[in-house]
């Protein structure tokens, strides 16, 4: 008897498929619950604010949800980064911190886990993902190089540019279409990759940048077949593949659910297979691995590792802690193992899908299919009367906070920044508001509150106007920019 859990597109529910191989019988049972494989041991009270309070708070924050104080937020869906709940085992791991300056045993535990679950040869710990991006970019990128990748991410692209490179988007066109139901919107269009190789030459491409899953596209997965095809094409030209593995286990879960041939493989096995198709990785462990802080660079090449070990001591810390405390490395090692458990992933993604389905049922425009770490509201379709230069997604995020104290994040023109050469705004096709779900933190009732609030704002959408930017920082402007209502 084989038991498989699949997401049923028709019903929008997870279902159990029971295969009785001996008698050749397949039974499909709709499973209404993706219930969590844990129970709650400790709670953290949150602030239930009034409308008057929220009006003041968001105005003071320049209508930028990044500038809100967390004490003024009810349900915090700004990010799933560093905001997940650690398990009792991870907390116990903190007590096992070995805070020796050099050679902490927690580093070696982490190294063992990374070898076993991800398979990379060398580990360089960093304080978080962007620390690893900085190191790999400075080592591998030269002035005039190009970096093809499956859609940009803010910090990744900035580090590539600061090292003298230019990012080129080679993701499939479906990724830019919020209504396309393609299941693997994180895939690379191989013709686009070939064109970049033909135009610039392989020697101008230090590596192809591949993210599992693709954050800016809505948390969309890449398929294993596409990964294999990328590997085959890059191998032909001797080009490396560097993997942004920030949400690799979530990607593995989607492969298990939706790619032929993977239904009976575990998330752990699929995760390992994905990593094995790449040459190295940057990781923000604040996501999949459910720690509050931490990250790493992992690399198979001995020479790059040698350089990275030289650099980490300048920018992060000694090569056996890289900006983390020993206890953080221990919690990360335990979190990595928890992150690849099938039960955990079914509940994690199940909760995201639950919220997504409620919004789809209400007719709210969101990126479809629903991804793994959050719901992305399509602000262009939500507020069609607000032109992109009036920051529809920024406006919508502020309105949602005003309505209920739910904090979301802009992922549109403000996040896309300005064109390096012309100084004009980059106008991305996707103008989104991200409702990001921290892992193991909120309940189904919280998701209902979020859905109701989005629905209320949607019903009032005609009364919402755009905003103008009144303060703009030079780098990663979305973090600190300020706005006024029009
Ligand atoms: C997030 F608004 N993500 O999603 P670090 N790669 C990928 C990430 O998702 C990621 C990093 C690298 C965040 C935090 C964040 O524009 C923003 O550990 C796929 O944050 O340095 C981070 O990892 C960087 C939010 C980062 C942003 C940049 O919420």
pLDDT of residue 9: 61
SS3 373: coil
Task: Give the CA dihedral 270, 272, 275, 277, nearest 10 degrees.
Answer: -70
Q: Are 311 and 115 spatial neighbours (Cβ–Cβ below 8 Å)?
A: no
- Nearest CA owner, ligand 1 atom 12: 129
What number does the ligand 1 atom closest to the CA of 213 have? 19
CA distance 280 to 294: 17
Q: Are 373 and 436 spatial neighbours (Cβ–Cβ below 8 Å)?
A: yes
Assess whether the C-beta atom of 256 lies below 6 angstroms from ligand 1. Answer: no
Strands of 58-194 (E only): list them.
75-76, 122-126, 146-149, 166-169
What number does the ligand 1 atom closest to the CA of 154 have? 16
Beta partners for residue 406, in sequence order:
75
What number does the ligand 1 atom closest to the CA of 131 have? 21
Strands in 13-20's sheet, in edge-to-edge order, are 2-8, 13-20, 25-31
Assess whether the C-beta atom of 295 lies below 6 angstroms from ligand 1. Answer: yes
Q: What are the Cα distances from residue 343, in Å, to 196, 347, 468?
A: 40, 6, 45
Q: Are 238 and 202 spatial neighbours (Cβ–Cβ below 8 Å)?
A: yes
pLDDT of residue 420: 83
Q: Helix and strand tally (H, E) in the chain?
A: 16, 17
Assess whether the C-beta atom of 155 lies below 6 angstroms from ligand 1. Answer: yes
Assess whether the C-beta atom of 246 lies below 6 angstroms from ligand 1. Answer: yes
What number does the ligand 1 atom closest to the CA of 155 have? 28
CA distance 112 to 173: 39
- Radius of gyration, alpha carbons of the chain: 22
| Pocket perturbation via mutation, ligand 1, pick of 246, 322, 412, 477 by most ligand atoms within 8 A of CB | 246
Q: What is the DSSP string of 231-244?
A: HHHHHHHT-EEEEE
Output the CA 81–ligand 1 centroid distance in Å.
7
pLDDT of residue 66: 98
Strand pairing class (166-169; 207-211): unpaired
What number does the ligand 1 atom closest to the CA of 411 have? 2
CA distance 134 to 378: 31
Strands in 374-378's sheet, in edge-to-edge order, are 374-378, 432-436, 409-411
SS3 166: strand
Averaged over successive runs of 10 residues, the pLDDT of the chain (486 residues) comes to: 57 59 59 85 95 98 98 98 98 98 98 98 98 98 98 96 97 96 98 98 98 97 98 98 98 97 97 98 98 98 98 98 98 98 97 96 97 98 98 98 98 94 94 98 98 98 97 96 96
Q: What are the Cα distances from residue 318, in Å, to 72, 103, 253?
A: 38, 9, 34
Output the CA 63–ligand 1 centroid distance in Å.
21
Rounded to two decimals, what is the model's pTM? 0.93
Assess whether the C-beta atom of 81 lies below 6 angstroms from ligand 1. Answer: yes
Output the CA 32–ligand 1 centroid distance in Å.
32
- Nearest CA owner, ligand 1 atom 16: 154
CA distance 403 to 415: 23
- CA–chain centroid gap for 430, Å, is 16
pLDDT of residue 463: 96
Longest dimension (CA), the chain: 69
Strands of 137-279 (E only): list them.
146-149, 166-169, 207-211, 240-244
Output the CA 283–ligand 1 centroid distance in Å.
10
SS3 250: helix
Output the CA 363–ligand 1 centroid distance in Å.
29
Active site residues: 101, 153-154, 244, 287, 411, 478
Output the CA 218–ligand 1 centroid distance in Å.
13
Strands of 215-318 (E only): list them.
240-244, 280-284, 295-299
Output the CA 128–ligand 1 centroid distance in Å.
9
Assess whether the C-beta atom of 154 lies below 6 angstroms from ligand 1. Answer: yes
| Pocket perturbation via mutation, ligand 1, pick of 126, 155, 171 by most ligand atoms within 8 A of CB | 155
* Cβ atoms within 10 Å, residue 179: 11
């Amino acid at each position: 008897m084989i038991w498989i859990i699949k997401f049923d597109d028709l019903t929008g529910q997870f279902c159990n498929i029971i295969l009785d191989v001996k008698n050749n019988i397949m039974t499909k049972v709709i499973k209404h619950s993706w219930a969590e494989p844990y129970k709650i041991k400790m709670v953290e009270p949150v602030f239930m604010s009034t409308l008057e309070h929220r009006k003041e708070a968001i105005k003071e924050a320049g209508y930028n949800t990044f500038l809100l104080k967390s004490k003024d937020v009810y349900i915090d869906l700004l990010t799933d980064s560093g905001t997940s709940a650690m398990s009792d085992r991870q907390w116990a791991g903190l007590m096992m911190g070995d805070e020796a300056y050099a050679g902490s045993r927690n580093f070696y535990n982490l190294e063992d886990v990374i070898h076993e679950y991800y398979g990379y040869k060398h580990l360089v710990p960093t304080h978080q993902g962007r620390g690893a991006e900085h190191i790999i970019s400075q080592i591998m990128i030269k002035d005039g190089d190009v970096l093809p990748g499956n859609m940009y991410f803010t910090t990744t692209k900035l580090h590539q540019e600061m090292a003298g490179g230019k990012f080129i988007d080679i993701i499939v066109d479906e990724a830019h279409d919020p209504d396309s139901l393609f299941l693997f919107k994180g895939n690379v269009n191989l013709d686009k990759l070939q064109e970049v190789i033909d135009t610039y030459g392989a020697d101008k491409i230090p590596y192809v940048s591949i993210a599992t899953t693709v954050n800016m596209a809505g948390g969309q997965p890449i398929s294993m077949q596409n990964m294999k095809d990328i590997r085959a094409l890059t191998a032909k030209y001797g080009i490396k593949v560097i993997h942004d593995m920030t949400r690799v286990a979530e990607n593995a879960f989607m492969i298990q659910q939706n790619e032929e041939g993977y239904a009976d493989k575990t998330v752990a096995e699929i995760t390992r297979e994905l990593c094995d198709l790449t040459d190295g990785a940057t990781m923000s462990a604040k996501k999949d691995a459910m720690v509050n802080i931490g990250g790493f660079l992992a690399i198979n090449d001995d020479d790059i590792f040698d350089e990275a070990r030289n650099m980490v001591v300048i920018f992060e810390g000694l090569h056996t802690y890289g900006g983390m405390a020993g206890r953080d490395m221990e919690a990360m090692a335990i979190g990595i193992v928890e992150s690849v458990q099938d039960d955990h992933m079914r509940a994690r993604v199940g909760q995201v899908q639950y919220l997504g389905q409620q919004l789809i049922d209400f007719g709210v425009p969101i990126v479809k299919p629903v991804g793994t770490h959050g719901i992305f509201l399509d602000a262009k379709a939500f507020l069609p009367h607000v032109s992109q230069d009036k920051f529809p997604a920024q406006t919508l995020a502020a309105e949602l906070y005003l309505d209920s104290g739910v904090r979301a994040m802009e992922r549109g023109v403000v996040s896309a920044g300005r064109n390096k050469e012309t100084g004009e705004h980059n106008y991305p096709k996707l103008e989104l508001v991200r409702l990001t779900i921290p892992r193991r933190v909120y309940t189904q009732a919280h998701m209902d509150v979020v859905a109701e609030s989005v629905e209320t704002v949607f019903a009032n959408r005609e009364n919402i106007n755009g905003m103008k930017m009144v303060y703009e920082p030079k780098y990663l402007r979305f973090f600190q920019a300020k706005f006024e209502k029009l």
